[in-house]
Chains A and B, each alone.
Chain A
């Protein structure tokens, strides 16, 4: 049913429909509205699960790990400082192959302290073994939760996932969102069926340590599952499209890319602004398109390569900074690798950090820069503050 709702509340509603048996989270701006709404649902009996009011993010994800290992479907949400505080457990959850879904309301990393949006937080955990989805709008954020659970819990995948949506920009704004019914979601997402669990009837030891004789193979297996996840995501997205009419069968999505000379690559809510800018540039006769990356882990290098075939230059709009790397942004690095053989130039343009507005004129500017072959750099800097 189409409802005008705050992004966070749409996400909370999606989570409720997934029937998590244990929710454990710790409040942090801008994730708070999700966990508050879930707490209300539990208090009102609308969500039939345990809500653990933990004392920290570190315990939030640790308790999720225990709950998942004991065989329950589990949910958490956090952002930025909270995610960094959990980092040790983040790696552990993936290594122990627990299919936990966690919403990230993307926010900048301190210092300086900043509660506004960029994507540095989830990206710094890119090698942790979690799948990473990025939503453009509240509808996509909602739907990606169903898909994430479905893929994560498959026995040949068993990987956790971040569903990322931009803090404030999506979490705190109202949009019309089509919320599926419980019957529809039950038909799409079956009850959690753990491959193995802590159980006195079939005792096993979880989280043993591995010597050099074994460790490398466990890491190999995580990566192999991540590679398999690409197909699983396409299938789960395709099935979702059949049932709900919204198509997430691609890990990337092109917009007016057909005969484009310049492609802008981006993730998350900024793609909406970019589409408007692309329309205006197209109207002015410029051959520009957008490649939106919906899934950053696993990284769909083949799709990216295919989508960018024939473009002459690529501007990657980065809401993160890859400090100390020659390539200024983490997304650009992956895109450049994907198209490497074609020789197409790829530039990382970093901006929108810590909640700085990205305007259509910024997008037009970086499109121009890419055409001119301008190297990686920041955009939207306040030059007067810099010496």
Chain B
């Protein structure tokens, strides 16, 4: 039986079948290689990969709390620097840990300039605790704390622009990517790791359970998000937009329809006002990052 010696995130973890974050973990560790110390936050990925004594990780890995991965990583980096060691320090944390509760520690880490790559796997809600809203939850998504109802169409706030916040901290490399573009993801991880200073990567990681789609569609969901313009893969190098993945954009409807978290926008009949608001978000993204190959008709 193969022991997957070149893999640093291994079989036997307890994620749902087709889990986007599990795929992200595999791709990130594969790109980062064996000389990597991983720092994790409490959340789905930590829970599905490390019930004692069955860890799925094969490089050194540490978890402390939900909101302190950036600070723990700062200490790890200072410690190994002091000892003259050369491992790379990589945080892999959820969107709740990153956008919401951990932002103090993240701001500190980026401001101090630690040589750490911070990767957020963005499944757009607190999945571990049962699909509650986070600052990364998209507009109008129904979650257990922003349920769609007679008076509500779900989460009423747009996704927070964390990459922009970290660009403002002077980060030399900030990028977004998706599990649906595995090669892009791995290239960006390698680039971030080899860029001195604090770098940030946000990985779109569709969650079948939380978003309400079949686990075999995880890649498909990521691709649909990219093709709608609701997710954009881009790179900001030294504060300048260096690259954005261009797409032949399609209306947002198909992406929304494919997920239970947006079901209320189509039942009993399509809520065209709300869908138009979401389309406007995609249009704004497209313009901001210049991703359109051909404008939508």
Contacts and interface: CB of A to CB of B under 8 A. Distances in A.
Interface of A: 21-22, 24, 49-50, 52-56, 58-59, 62-72, 74, 88-89, 92, 96, 198-200, 203-211, 214
9 contacts: A56-B108, A66-B39, A72-B79, A198-B60, A200-B87, A205-B50, A205-B57, A208-B50, A210-B52
A71 B57 CA distance: 19
B37 A67 contact: no
Interface string B57-87: 1111111110110111111111111110001
B78 A67 contact: yes
B75 A66 contact: yes
Given A62-B65, A71-B83, A54 B74 contact: yes
B73 A66 contact: yes
Contacts of B67: 58
Contacts of B83: 21, 70-72
A207 B46 CA distance: 10
B75 A55 contact: no
B35 A200 contact: yes
Given A74-B75, A199-B60, A204-B60, 8 more contacts: A50-B82, A52-B78, A58-B105, A62-B72, A65-B75, A203-B59, A206-B60, A207-B64
Q: Which of A59, A209, A211 has the most CB of B within 10 A?
A: A59
| Interface size band for B | 35 or more
Interface string B5-37: 000000000000000000000000000001111
A198 B108 CA distance: 23
A67 B65 contact: no
Contacts of A70: 37, 75-76, 79-80, 83
Interface of B: 34-37, 39, 46-47, 50-53, 55, 57-65, 67-68, 70-83, 87, 104-105, 107-109, 111-112
A337 to B, nearest CB: 33
A58 B71 contact: yes
Contact of A50 (B36, B64, B72, B79): B79
A69 B105 contact: no
A215 B60 CA distance: 22
A96 B36 contact: no
Contacts, number: 160
A125 to B, nearest CB: 16
A90 to B, nearest CB: 11
A67 B83 CA distance: 11
A89 B68 CA distance: 9
Nearest to A202: B60
A152 B52 CA distance: 25
A200 B75 contact: no
A247 to B, nearest CB: 35
A62 B105 contact: yes
Q: Which of A69, A208, A211 has the most CB of B within 10 A?
A: A208
B117 to A, nearest CB: 15
Nearest to A88: B65
6 closest residue pairs by CB, A with B: A66-B75, A63-B75, A55-B108, A62-B71, A67-B75, A70-B79
Nearest to B80: A70
B15 to A, nearest CB: 15
B72 A63 contact: yes
B105 A89 contact: no
A203 B61 contact: yes
Contacts of A72: 78-79, 82-83
A26 to B, nearest CB: 10
Contacts of B35: 200
Given A54-B74, A62-B71, A68-B75, A209 B50 contact: yes
Contacts of A54: 71, 74, 108, 112
Contacts of B52: 208-211, 214
Contacts of A199: 60, 87
Given A55-B104, A66-B39, A205 B55 contact: yes
Contacts of A22: 75, 78-79, 82
Given A52-B78, A65-B72, A92 B60 contact: no
B60 A89 contact: no
A70 B74 CA distance: 11
Contacts of A210: 51-52
A208 B55 contact: yes
A254 B112 CA distance: 48
Contacts of A71: 79-80, 83
Given A71-B83, A198-B37, A55 B111 contact: yes
B74 A69 contact: no
Contacts of A64: 75
Nearest to A26: B108
